[in-house]
Amino acid sequence: MTELMTPGSLLALFVAVPLLCAGLSVILRQRVVDRILLVGVPVLAIAGAVALMLFHREVPVLASAIGAYEGGIAIPLVSDTLTALMLATTGLATAASGWFLTLTGEARLRFVPALALLLMTGVNGALLTGDLFNLFVFVEVMLLPSYALIAVTGTWRRLGLGRMFVIVNLVTSLILLMGVGLVYGSAGAVNLAVLAGRAAEDPQVALALTVVLLALAIKAGVVPVHGWLPRAYPGTSAGMMALFSALHTKVALYAIFRIYFTTFEPGSPSGAAGAGMASAVAGVIAVVVLATMVVGAIGSLGEQRFRGVLAFQMVAGVGHILIGVAVTSPAAVAAGLFYLVHHVVTMASLLTTVGAVEHTYGTGVLGRISGVMHRDRLAAVLVALGLLSLAGLPPTSGLWGKLGLGLAVAEAGETGPAGAWQTPVFLVAIVVSSVVTLVALQRLWGSSFAGAPLHRYWPAAPEGGRAKAQTLEGEVRIPLRLLAPGTMMMGVSIALFLFAGLLMPFIDTATAGLFETGPYIEAVLP
Amino acid sequence: MLVLAVTVGVLTAAGVWLLQQRSMVRAIFGLTLISHAVNLLLLTTGVPGWRVEPLMSTAQAADAADPLPQAFVLTAIVISMATTIFMLALAVIGRDDDQEKVPETGEEHA
């Protein structure tokens, strides 16, 4: 147990190991090494994150000042239970996506493993950092490989979509940078521990922080600024989409939770000068969250492709997760965090399974393939379970996700920004979103998985891309190995349904860490 | 102080206008202008007047400029330069492909 002797400095390994392995992958250029790194590094990260979660049962917050400068001047890497939970969840989804990329052969493309590892570097850094400017830098580290990855594989539209993705994300990054600058100008610091509670005291700091929150909302795909997500993601390949959906939006969501709860301290009653500003911000958040839930669900009704439907479901999921930020009771935050874990797992399972269907039959357009249920039983079962999970039905983690949110909203009563209206409005939004989601998913299932047997398909052409439609022969089936990552993630989802009790203590600790900022500040500023 | 604020505003407005154009190269120019605006904004968060270089061996802390915004701007310039080069490459590769080019891979428009 020598690692625990200097626990704080080990946090940097979450950033350093993927970064060095990315370099290793570029230098060695061996397929075997690439495959081992692409799956092995995320697995290592999961192991490290689980160890960290167990460690946090005794030491709630672990901080390490990079370069051993004084607290407040140094750039800190900070980890608490929430951080460790996010590291484990994103690591799990990265491992599944990486596995799927090696199975479809996309990992053979030059630099793909290195870029995926760089993406992971940025994600881990953004989760660990306790400094707003450093957050901007790690978000850029995360985005630069994504710009390349989104254009590597997928349909021929990906180049145009890649340009759109770059421009949207670059503008967002500039807004984030602007917000960080304004925070520094108004508060004189960009260290989260120093900024703790400042937004509740000073309207100027609160205004500057809303610029930061706006940028993060764009990155998360919150409704009035969600348009880029359902357009960009279905254009890239399923494996890449699984990777992106687990990482990009979820990192932004984590940052929203962390920054909002640390700086605005919405849980504590305050009569401070910034209270008016803070309650205005809370009102805007409530409206936006409601819109995100409903618009995401309705949008998925109108999509023509598997992954278009799933992309809008991601938007709806973002709305559900952010209920924790809108209804700021501990129960709602815990339910939102559980929903986040559930959503990452379910989406990774669905995207890799649907990706296997697309990879085999050459199209992801609804109605162009049908009757997959009769040919590939396992794929059909996995997709059915995934859709049930999205709708919030057993035997999957979705049930506890939706139920937890509903109960938390019902319990929270009149304390939230919308006052007496809050409980009915949020409950109606959850129900409407779920029913519309069910209709949209039923349409996906009915047009493609049930129905007449398939008779045409578009086999992969040797020179890359897709050949002309061909008559489907009897022996063409989805290879079972392609379904393995989806099966694994669905197993995790069902395990979350059966053994949710094992995870809940960690989620409760993570929630408590958001409300009680004392230990966080003490660890960063000793 | 006002001069700086107006400059930031004009740069941002021009950048947003350029960003609305269809051409990728114009959009890149627009983004460059906005990033200049943000860099100026970051610099104003230190003391905007001219101050002594923040080298503690030669200057007093009271006279020196705040080094942190300068470090921010330096980092931001490096990042925006990298992304600008990448976007210029995208502009060269994908010229007109969203309007005229037909896919060569046999995929259908769907």
Q: Are A457 and A315 in contact (CB under 8 A)?
A: no
DSSP type of residue A362: S
- A 10 A CB-CB count for A7 gives 15
Cβ burial A293-327 (10 Å sphere, 16+ → b, else e)? bbbbbbbbeebebbbbbbbbbbbbbbbbbbbbbbb
Residue B98 confidence (pLDDT) above 60: no
Cα dihedral A248, B26, B100, A169 in deg (nearest 10): 0
Whether B40 has its CB under 8 Å from any CB of chain A: the answer is no
Of the partner residues A144, A174, A181, the one whose CB lies closest to the CB of residue B72 = A181
Distance CA A433, CA A522 (A): 41
- Asked if A155 and B86 come within 8 Å (Cβ–Cβ), the reply is no
pLDDT at A39: 86
pLDDT band at residue B95, thresholds of 50, 70 and 90?
A: low
- How big is the A-B interface in CB pairs under 8 Å? 90
How many helices and strands (H and E) does chain A possess?
22, 4
Region A390-407: mean pLDDT is 82
Cβ atoms of A246 and A93 closer than 8 Å: yes
Chain A contact set for B41 (CB, 8 A): 178, 181-182
Residue closest to B75 by CA, chosen among A188, A138, A141, A137: A137
User: CB-based contact (8 Å) between B97 and chain A?
Assistant: yes
pLDDT of residue A4: 41
Span A42-60, pLDDT tens digits: 898 899 888 888 888 888 8
At A420-465, the pLDDT tens digits run 677 788 888 888 888 888 888 888 888 777 777 777 777 665 555 5
> Which residue in A248, A226, A509, A486 sits closest to A355, CA to CA?
A486
Per-residue CA distances from A202 to A107, A263, A273, A278, A349 (Å): 50, 10, 6, 9, 44
Please judge whether B31 and A174 are an interchain contact, meaning their C-beta atoms are less than 8 angstroms apart. Answer: yes
Chain B residues close to A144, C-beta within 8 Å: 82-83, 86
Q: How confident is the model at residue B106 (pLDDT cuts 50, 70, 90)?
A: very low
pLDDT in tens, A129-139: 888 899 999 99
In Å, how far are A86, A186, A330, A521 from A266, measured between CA atoms? Answer: 22, 20, 11, 17
Q: Return the bridge partners of A77, or none.
A: A64, A129
pLDDT for position B94: 62
Looking from the CA of A225 toward its CB, the CA atoms found within 13 Å total 15
In b/e form, how buried is each residue of A475-486, taking b as 16+ CB within 10 angstroms?
Answer: eeebeeebbbbb
pLDDT of residue B110: 38
Give the residue from A221, A295, B101, A342 showing the smallest Cα distance to A303: A295
Please give the structure tokens belonging to residue A409. Answer: 């909203």
Tell me the C-alpha to C-alpha distance, in Å, between residue A382 and each of A163, A340, A378. Answer: 34, 20, 6
What is the per-residue pLDDT for B47?
66
Q: What pLDDT does B108 receive?
A: 46
Tokens of A16: 């350093």
Residue A370 has pLDDT above 80, yes or no: no
Over range A257-277, report the average pLDDT.
73
pLDDT of residue A5: 45
Interface touch B104/A465, C-beta < 8 Å: yes
Q: What per-residue confidence (pLDDT) applies to A156?
A: 60
Judged by CB atoms closer than 8 Å, whether chains meet at A466 and B97 is answered as no
Q: In the numeric block, which tokens belong to residue A239? A: 């494996």
Q: How confident is the model at residue A365 (pLDDT cuts 50, 70, 90)?
A: confident
* pLDDT beyond 80 at B54: no
**Residue of A111, A137, A165, A174 for testing the chain B interface, max B β-carbons within 10 Å:** A174
| Token duo for residue B70 | 């300068």
Which residues of B are less than 8 Å from A363 in CB distance? 110
| Residue that wins the pLDDT comparison between A204 and A271 | A204
Quick count: other Cβ atoms within 10 Å of Cβ A464?
9
Quick one: pLDDT at residue A439?
87
Percent over 70 (pLDDT), chain A = 91
The Cα B107–Cα B110 span in angstroms is 8
Report ipTM for this prediction.
Answer: 0.85
Which has more pLDDT, A398 or A179? A179
Tell me, what's the pLDDT at A467?
63
The 10s digit of each residue's pLDDT in A234-252 is 878 888 888 888 888 899 9
State both tokens at A380. 């059909």
Q: Which two tokens stand for residue A245?
A: 């959906």
Nearest by CB to residue B106, choosing from A171, A185, A468, is A468
pLDDT for residue A255:
92
pLDDT digits (tens, 9 = 90+) for A75-91: 888 888 889 999 999 99
Q: Read off the pLDDT band of B15 (50, 70, 90).
A: very high
DSSP B65: P
Neighbours of A185 (CB within 10 A): 17
CA A471 to chain centre: 39
Of A66-80, A265-279, A346-360, where does mean pLDDT reach its minimum? A265-279
- Provide the pLDDT for residue B27: 87
Residue B109 banded pLDDT, cuts 50, 70, 90: very low
Query: Side chain identity at B93, as an amino acid letter?
Result: I
* Residue length of chain A: 526
Per-residue model confidence as pLDDT tens digits over A461-480: 555 556 666 776 666 777 77
Report residue A223 CA to chain centroid gap: 16
Angle between helices A81-104 and A31-55 (to 10 degrees): 160
The pLDDT assigned to A1 comes to: 34
Q: Which of B31, B76, B94 sits opposite A160 (nearest CB)?
A: B94
Q: How far is residue A370 from each of residues A367, A373, A450, measured CA to CA in Å?
A: 6, 8, 6
Rounded to 5 degrees, φ, ψ at A454 are -75, 140
A163 contacts in chain B (CB < 8 Å): 24, 87, 90-91, 94
| Of the partner residues B38, B104, B107, the one whose CB lies closest to the CB of residue A155 | B107
Split at pLDDT 50, 70, 90, the class of A215 is very high
More confident of the two residues A107 and A86: A86
Residue A451 has a pLDDT of 72
